[in-house]
Structure 1
Amino acid sequence: MSERVISRTVAESMAERNEIVFPNDVNPLGNLFGGRLMQFIDLVGAVASVRHAGAVTVTASMDTLDFVSPVKVGELLILKASVNRAFKTSMEVGVKAMVEDVLGNGRMRHVATAYLTYVAVDVLGGKLEVPQVVPETEHQKRRYEDALKRREMRSSETMRKKELRATLPPEWHV
C-alpha cells in the first residue's frame, strides 16, 4: 500500500502548455475564440491539479477569467499553471496565458489570467483528500494567501445564489 503525500511544493505540480493558434481556432476578426482559450486554460490547470493531488481531478469552477489582450492566428500561446492553495479535497489553480513573439524579439505579452477550482476524486467519484501546498517564494506566498480570500468570496456568492434560488417560483426550477 502506498503512503499518501501530505504536502507538495508549488514547483512540483507546475504545468505548461504551448499552442500555435490556427485559423479554425479564431473568430471572423482573426482572434482566438474565448471558449477555445477557456479549454486550453482548463486543460493545463487540470494537469497541475492532477500532479498535485496524485489522483484524478474534476473542474468545480472557473472564476475571474480576465481576457486582457486578443490572441491572433499564427501566434504562439503559452499557458502556465500552478496550484495556489489546497484545501481538504479541492485546490485553487492559477493559470496565466501569454503570447510569445517568436518571430521578433521574443517578448511575452499577457493575454489572460484565470483561477479554477479542481476537486480530487476516486474512480467512483468520491472526494479524496489532497496534499497541502508549500509555497516557497514571496510570489507563491502571496498567491497562497490570496487564494483563501477568493475561496471566501466564492463561498459567500454560492450561499447568496442558493438563497436567491429558494425565492424563485416553482415554475422557474429546473
Structure 2
Amino acid sequence: MNAKKVKESRIINTAQVLSCDLNNYNTLFGGVLMKKLDDAATLSARRHSREKECVTASTDSIDFLCPIHQTDSVCVESFVTYTGKTSMEVFCKVIAEDIMTGERRIAATAFLTFVAFGENKRPVEVPGVIPETEEEIFLYKTAKERAEIRKIRRQKSKELAAYISLKKPWDTEEEEK
C-alpha cells in the first residue's frame, strides 16, 4: 500500500461564529468546537484511507488556548500525521481570526485517532504518511510518543471502568434485594 503525502488528507473548514454558538461568557461553546474538530478530522481520515467508514477511536485532550468570540471566524484545519496498521492520528488546529482587524491566533489544538473500516465492518489497513513541511515532520516524529501515552491512558481507562458502578443512582440497596 503506497504512502500518501500529509497534504492529501488536509481539510480546512472556516465558519463564522454565530450567536447561537456562544456560551454565557460570549465565547464559542467548547462542545460546538469539539463537533467541528470531529467533523474535520473524520473527513481527513476518510480522505487518507479512502474508506467510507472511519470511526473516532480516541480524542486526546483538546487544548483550548484562547477564547473565540462572535467577532471571529473559526478555521479548523486537520490532517493525518501518522498511521499504524489500521489507525490514523489526525491533528487539528483551530485558528481564530478577528474579522475586523485580521489578527489570527491559534485558539485550540487536538489529536484524534481514527480506525478505518471496510465493507465487512472490520478494520482495514491504511496507507502510511509522507510528511513534507517542518510542521508535518515535527508531528510525525513525535507521534510514537503520543501513541504510547494513548496506550497507557486506554489501559488506565479500562482499569477505571472495572470499578465504575452501573447501578442507577436513584435505586436503593433495599430495592435491589
Q: Same fold by TM-score, threshold 0.5 exceeded?
A: yes
Confirm or deny that 1:136 pairs with 2:132. Answer: yes
Q: CA deviation at 1:107?
A: 2.5
SS at match of 1:69: coil
Q: TM-score, normalised by structure 1?
A: 0.88
Q: CA deviation at 1:12?
A: 1.0
Matches of 1:27 and 1:137, distance apart in 2? 36
Per the alignment, residue 89 of structure 1 pairs with 86
Matches of 1:165 and 1:124, distance apart in 2? 29
Residue segments in structure 1 that go unaligned for 5+ positions in a row: none
- RMSD of equivalent CA atoms: 1.6
Matches of 1:119 and 1:112, distance apart in 2? 23
Matches of 1:47 and 1:161, distance apart in 2? 27
Tell me, yes or no, if the aligned pair for 1:98 and 1:111 is still in contact at 8 Å: yes
Q: TM-score, normalised by structure 2?
A: 0.87
Per the alignment, residue 156 of structure 2 pairs with 160
Matches of 1:103 and 1:68, distance apart in 2? 21
- Give per-residue Cα distances to partners, 1:82-110, cap 9 Å, x unaligned: 11101111100000001112322x22111
Q: CA deviation at 1:59?
A: 0.9
Tell me, yes or no, if the aligned pair for 1:94 and 1:114 is still in contact at 8 Å: yes
Matches of 2:142 and 2:61, distance apart in 1? 13
Tell me, yes or no, if the aligned pair for 1:22 and 1:74 is still in contact at 8 Å: no
Matches of 1:120 and 1:157, distance apart in 2? 21
Tell me, yes or no, if the aligned pair for 1:13 and 1:49 is still in contact at 8 Å: yes
- Give per-residue Cα distances to partners, 1:66-86, cap 9 Å, x unaligned: 011111124200111111101
Distance 1:125 1:28, change over 3 A: same
Q: Percent identity?
A: 36
- Residue 121 of structure 2 aligns with an amino acid whose one-letter code is G
Tell me, yes or no, if the aligned pair for 2:44 and 2:78 is still in contact at 8 Å: yes
Matches of 1:173 and 1:88, distance apart in 2? 34
Residue segments in structure 2 that go unaligned for 5+ positions in a row: 168-177
Q: CA deviation at 1:19?
A: 1.2
